[in-house]
Each structure stands twice: as structure tokens, then as C-alpha cells.
Amino acid sequence: MQFFLPNSSIFNLISEGISEGIIVVNKEQVIVAANSATEEMFLYKKDHLIGQSLDLLIPRRYHKGHDQHVTEFARQSKKRQMGRGRDLHGIRKNGQEFPVEVGLNPFEMNGETFVMALIIDITERKIKEKELSHWFRIFDESLNEIYVFNAQSFNFINVNKEAQRNLGYSLEELQTMTPIDIKPEMDRTEFLQLIDPILLDKNSKIKFETTHQRKNRTIYPVEVNLQLSAKGETEVFVAIILDITEQKSYTEKLEKKVDERTKQLTEALAKEKELNELKTRFLSLVSHEFKTPLSSILTSITLLGKYTQTEQQEKRDKHVTTIRNKVKYLDAILNDFLSVERLESGNENYKLETFPLSKVVNEVVYDANMLLKTGQKINYPEDIDDLIVQFDPKTLELALSNLVNNAIKYSPENTSIDLKIKKVDNNIVINIMDKGIGIPKEEQKHIFNRYFRAENALLTQGTGIGLNIAKQHLENLGASLEFSSEENKGSNFTVTIPKTPITTIQ
């Protein structure tokens, strides 16, 4: 190696101990000295470098710019870092370019100006920087909110863009705040308790749900994942936060749907249960309720066959009446029962018709007359031909016949049953009154429950269905059924048919 510098041995001594490249150029930009590190960096032998223009070590495209910089630098002539604000590159003998950092030191020796350049190969650093900026971009551009805050003071150190956007605070504003400031549901004590496990076990993390309050005071639900980390010497918390507004509303919607479906299912099951119960009851009904009438029908028929004499006509008539009554009774409970089934399965078809009320009343009274006990009598208005109602005649007949049949059933012989009809505010009000056993006060509240029968009625045949279905059908059509009753005095059942669409014949 050959140096043109007078005290080259001192330069040699110093420069060889340094890992950075050192090149000395004269004012013509000719290399006058270089150390071994430069040799390794640029892959040129030192001997080759000495006497060459510095351009040899600079990629061609930078030559022009470099000359200008050198001229400028020589003019200012003071020690400085080169390439501030731009990337500097060197080129090796094999043509490979690499990033460098250059420090320039001008000096004079024997009246001549030299510049000593200290060159550092920053390839590794650049790779690291790139990597870092990659990680930073991931942090900053993450669609999760990421918060870094001091583990002692809790002050935010860095908060990524998404967090700033969702909260509506700038980074500068957030740097004066702590996580507690944005958690409306939590005070400092609660927050301390929450992070305690992480402080005890520094490798642990915690996950919790809470709410965040934006700058505009709106609140959103969040899931927080929190863990400890370090920023240099400082211990910091890193919180990754998920805005779970949509997840929450989705969950809520789902829960609502599940509730709805559960309700539907429960209802369907209850209906199913009710229908099953109905089947069971039907069987017991057939065995109980049908047995007595059927055996009395059988007895009457057997006896009928025995009364062959002409003068026994009265006896024959009696048995025919008995048979007719029993058949009517069986028909009625069968109708009631089928009606329950239709109500339960939702298969009831109402047909609204306009008809004279007398039509239904007469039919009900005619049929009921056959069931009267000795001395019983039904009083009913016979001057109602001008009362026209719009209703389902079958439903009205079912309701009225149930009420009149009950009045007969639950009254002793020699009493009268009164059927009264009046117009109140254009509604038609029908009363069925008897002087029978009445309904005990404490049992009155259950009387419309299906299958309910009062204690004092148990000696009389019955199913506990009639009142229940009558009320349900009437109410389905906007009518009502009420009653008042006193035990051992009698009962008064009231059917009210709504005024519209009721008209009176002229």
C-alpha cells in the first residue's frame, strides 16, 4: 500500500483498527488513501484504488449529483454527515450496489486540502429498517384497534390509525390520556384489578369485554386482548381491541330468533300436548259420558220391543223421548268435543251471515224443550223477528244451546228458565237465567277453564267443555260471555253480540 500522505504510517495505524471504510481524497476527488475495511467493502485492492477517481466507487447515475455535492462541500469546508435526506449508494467491483452512510472530514496538510470519508455499509440496517417499517405498517394499518400504553403511568404511547379513527381522538390527544379515560364502565380500581394477573405473571395475557367511549360520547362494545411488552427499557401494555358492535347485534338478533323459535316450539309442544290430552280425555269421555246414555238408550229400546199392545202407546212414547234425549245429549257433547279439537288445531272456519236472531233462538229452544225436566219451562221472547244479526249462526247456536242446556241441567224440576233479549247501544244482549243450583262463589273464577266442573255439579253428567268453547268462539268473533251466579239461587249468563254489523228489519 502506498500513501501520498506525509504521515501515512499514522493514518495506517489508526485506519486499520477501524471497521468502517476510510477513504481520503484530494481536491480533485482522487483517492489518495484507503483502509482494509474499504477493500473488503468495495472488493478492490487498495493498490488499485489509490490514484483512481472516487467515481469508481459511486454508481454511474449518481456521478453528476455527487460532483455538485463535493463542490458545495468543499466551498463550505466543514465536517459533516453526507447524504442527509437522500439515500447514498456505493458500487463494488463486481457491480453490486449497496447503501452507505458517509461522514466527511475536510482537512489541510502541507497547504493541500483533503477530505477523509468515513463509509459505513448500512445494508443490514436498511434491511432492519425495512422490516421495522413493515411491522409498523401492520400496526398502523391494522383494522383492529391497537393501543400501546405505559405500564406505570398508563399513558398512551402509540395508538394506531383505526383506534384514532373509531375513537375520534388524534394521537396527540390520546397521548395525554389513559385507557381508563375511554372506558366509561370502569374506574381506576377496577382497571388495576383487571390487569393485576398480567403484572403477576408477565407472560400472561387477558381478554375481556367492556365498552369504549368515543370523543363524540357515543359508546361501542369492545373485546380487549391485553399483554405486557417492552419499548426499549420501558414496560408497556399492548392492547388489541375488536369493535364487537356487529358481533353483539348479530348475537342479540340470534338470541332473539332463538327466543322466538323456542316460544313457537313451546307453543307447538303445548298444542301437541293439549291434543294428546284431548285424545286421552276423549277416550275417558267415551267410556264415562257415553256409557250411561247408551245403556239407557239400550234399556228403552229393549222395553220398546215389549210394549206391543195398542194401549201401551204412552209408554212407547216415553221411551222414544228418552232415546231422542240421550241421542241429542251424545250429539251435543260430541259437537263440543270436536269444537275443542278445531279450536286447538286452528281449523275453525267461521262464516259470518246476516240472519234473524229468532231463527237460532227458536232452534235452540226447540231442541232444549226435549231435555226439560218435569215442570220445567223455557220463557223466551217470541216477538224478535225484526232482530237481524250478522254473526256466525253455528257459533251462536253452539253457545246458546250450551247455556240453555246447562240451565236445564243444573236446575231442579218445576223451575222456569228465562231467555231474555234486548238491545243495548245497538249491541244485542242475550240473558239465560235459571233458578238452579248456582255456582259456588270461590269456584266462579275457574268456571271458564276447560274441563272445570264445580263441586256442586259433580252429580250431574257433564264434561266441563261447553262454557270454555262457547266463550272462546264468541270472543273470536268479537262477542262476549259473562255470568253472575249465587249458589242455590240461580245463574245468569249474558251473551253480548257486538252492534256492528247488526241491523233491524224495517
- Nearest distance from residue 267's CB to ligand ADP, in Å? 24
The closest of 75, 83, 87, 89 to 104, measured between CA atoms, is 83
378 binds ligand ADP (CB under 6 A): no
Is 467 one of the binding residues for ligand ADP (CB under 6 A)?
yes
CA distance 264 to 270: 10
Q: Which is nearer to ligand ADP, 41 or 447 (CB)?
A: 447
**Segment 477-506, which members bind ligand ADP (CB under 6 A)?**
491
**How many residues contact ligand ADP, by CB under 6 A?**
21
Nearest residue to ligand ADP, using CB? 462
Identify which of residues 20 and 434 has a Cβ nearer to ligand ADP in the complex: 434
Task: Tell me if 21 contacts ligand ADP by CB under 6 A.
Answer: no
Residue of the chain from 21, 99, 179, 438 that contacts ligand ADP (CB under 6 A): 438
Of positions 407, 481, 495, 502, contacts ligand ADP by CB under 6 A: 407
Determine, following the binding rule CB under 6 A, whether residue 472 of this chain makes contact with ligand ADP. no
Burial of 417: CB neighbours in 10 Å, binned 0-12, 13-18, 19+:
buried
Helix (H) or strand (E) holding 499: none
Measure the CA angle with vertex 301, ends 300 and 302; round to 5°.
90
Least distance (Å) from ligand ADP to the CB of residue 245? 55
Q: How far apart are CA 71 and CA 440, in angstroms?
A: 121
* Residue span binding ligand ADP (CB under 6 A) among the ranges 32-40, 100-108, 277-285, 450-458: 450-458
Task: State the nearest-atom distance from the C-beta of 391 to ligand ADP, in Å.
Answer: 21
Write down the least CB distance from residue 410 to ligand ADP, Å: 3
> Looking at 164, 322, 468, 496, which residue binds ligand ADP (CB under 6 A)?
468
Q: Is the dihedral of CA 151, 157, 158, 164 positive or negative?
A: positive
Can you tell me which of 466, 471, 474, 496 binds ligand ADP, judged by CB under 6 A? Answer: 466
Neighbours of 150 (CB within 10 A): 15
15 near ligand ADP (CB under 6 A):
no
Q: Give me 249's grid cell.
A: 347485534
Shortest distance (Å) from residue 266 CB to ligand ADP: 27
Piece in contact with ligand ADP (CB under 6 A), picked from 102-110, 236-244, 256-264, 402-410: 402-410
Q: Which of the residues 91 through 120 are near ligand ADP (CB under 6 A)?
A: none
> Which residue in 224, 239, 454, 474 binds ligand ADP (CB under 6 A)?
454
Helix, strand, coil % (nearest 5) of the chain? 45, 25, 30
Grid coordinates representing 328 are 241429542
Stretch that binds ligand ADP, among 149-157, 179-187, 456-464, 474-482 (CB under 6 A): 456-464
Span between the terminal Cα atoms of the chain, in Å: 138
Q: Which is nearer to ligand ADP, 116 or 465 (CB)?
A: 465
Distance CA 82, CA 117 (A): 9
Q: Rounded to an integer, what distance in angstroms lies between the CA atom of residue 31 and that of residue 35?
A: 11
Q: Does 337 bind ligand ADP (CB under 6 A)?
A: no
- d(CA 389, CA 504) in angstroms, rounded, equals 8
- The secondary structure element, H or E, covering residue 88 is strand 88-91
The answer to whether residues 352 and 469 touch, using CB atoms and an 8 Å cutoff, is no
- Indicate whether 430 belongs to the interface with ligand ADP (CB under 6 A): no
Q: Which cell goes with 301?
A: 229400546
Residue 204, classed as helix, strand or coil, is coil
Q: Which residues bind ligand ADP (CB under 6 A)?
A: 402, 406-407, 410, 434, 436-439, 447, 453-454, 457, 462-468, 491
